[in-house]
Structure 1
């Protein structure tokens, strides 16, 4: 398996032959659907050191644990699959959280009431979730998917989950949460082109990981970030399955800053190591 540190990312641009053959039908439909938009509207700044020195043309991704990720700009902190905890500092609050209901660790029933925007990705009383939140530096929208009812004794639910798309700093980042079924052509068009895809790779309750990677590649993603791996063994199986076609880049930390000019020329799998956000000051933790 090829592995290189992120520090020599620029050298990867010259590597060839890193292409995943997409065998699922109709994935190319999403390529003609642009993701990027210019977000108007109002939002609340998340004033924490984690974002203080983030350039305005960058997005910071931070892997908290399982499938919880922070997607941050200078003034917006979004948390995907928020399960109630991102830091030992209780005063670090997101601007917006998204949640899913495939099973209990993708949501919380008691989000902090100080969080301005709470987006639930599942249907309520048979009505699918429909979100498009426009903030000054980010647009967040969802595309609903079905759950198979294979965990927590839950029955199958139509529109019971969502893929979340975060548009910021010229990038489109897709968080697949706990995707359990293949995407239809209509869902692919609704998602549109992705630059980065965060995909679950537990190879159990979620969709088969290689097929998941094929979906992400078909949507145009140049970077896949694995989530929802419960052990090093699970992660290694996923990396081994993709290593013949994708470069594997290991980052020895939880965060990475991305922008359009840092995207690789050929697709890669980027491995982040989970960790909570640092406290705003030592006195708070």
Structure 2
């Protein structure tokens, strides 16, 4: 499986057969180049324009939106209901955490998670190999809370997202340093090619470079 980061909470997962899953496409106001690409499946964690801008995508992808069990193109996807804040959605509403398996690896994408996970949510999510976790705070969990979510899920690979990359990003969120300082094993990579056999033995945070959209 190959994983690219397109900015914000948007990742492109491509399995060995070429099936593509894209998460949380965003609009132009975020500050990254918009993801004008083709995908087979797109997940939408919640309906804010920096996470649900599916109209920017090429082709006609299947949209997965909301909690529940899905099977799209033979790919099982589980949507776990969570909240966008720490007060049961009273400030920012609901958020869906999506988990799915590609090439034998189980991925969990947190969306705009605003709280630590409950025992019921952890049971619903199950085992996780790769976790995409917001770390920038303000709208989501912050660096310290994200660290605790990592402890809850115990994935082998952590992919930070939803942080301020540079000053071109207009959102009032934090950078990545406060999250990274909590980990000893941090790797920077242009892209991530990963298989079940190549999973690291010890937990690793992988900071992906921004994918170049042509």
In the superposition, the TM-score normalised over structure 1's length comes to 0.63
Higher helix share: 1
Higher strand share: 2
Gapped runs of 5+ residues in structure 1? 1-58, 122-128, 279-285
SS, match of residue 68 in structure 2: coil
The residue number in structure 2 matching 1:275 is 211
Tell me by how many angstroms 1:109 deviates. 6.3
Tell me by how many angstroms 1:168 deviates. 0.8
Q: Do the aligned residues in 1 keep the contact of 2:157 with 2:203 (CA within 8 Å)?
A: yes
Q: Which runs of 4+ in 1 moved over 3 A?
A: 109-114
Q: Do the aligned residues in 1 keep the contact of 2:39 with 2:57 (CA within 8 Å)?
A: no
CA distance in structure 1 between the aligned counterparts of 2:188 and 2:59, rounded to whole angstroms:
35
2:26 counterpart of 1:83 = yes
Q: Compare relative contact order (CA 8 Å, sep 6+) and give the higher one, 1 or 2.
A: 1
Gapped runs of 5+ residues in structure 2? 28-33, 167-173
The residue number in structure 1 matching 2:170 is none
Tell me by how many angstroms 1:266 deviates. 0.9
Instruction: Tell me the matched-pair count.
Output: 198
CA distance in structure 2 between the aligned counterparts of 1:231 and 1:69, rounded to whole angstroms:
15
CA distance in structure 1 between the aligned counterparts of 2:58 and 2:23, rounded to whole angstroms:
17
Tell me by how many angstroms 1:213 deviates. 2.6
CA distance in structure 2 between the aligned counterparts of 1:178 and 1:156, rounded to whole angstroms:
10
2:186 counterpart of 1:248 = yes
In the superposition, the TM-score normalised over structure 2's length comes to 0.82
Which of 162, 167, 180 does residue 239 from structure 1 map onto?
180
Which of 84, 109, 112 does residue 178 from structure 1 map onto?
112
Change (3 A) 1:94 1:113: closer
Please say which structure displays the higher CA radius of gyration: 1
SS, match of residue 120 in structure 2: helix
How large is the Cα RMSD of the aligned pairs? 2.4
The residue number in structure 1 matching 2:6 is 64
2:198 counterpart of 1:262 = yes
Q: Do the aligned residues in 2 keep the contact of 1:176 with 1:198 (CA within 8 Å)?
A: yes
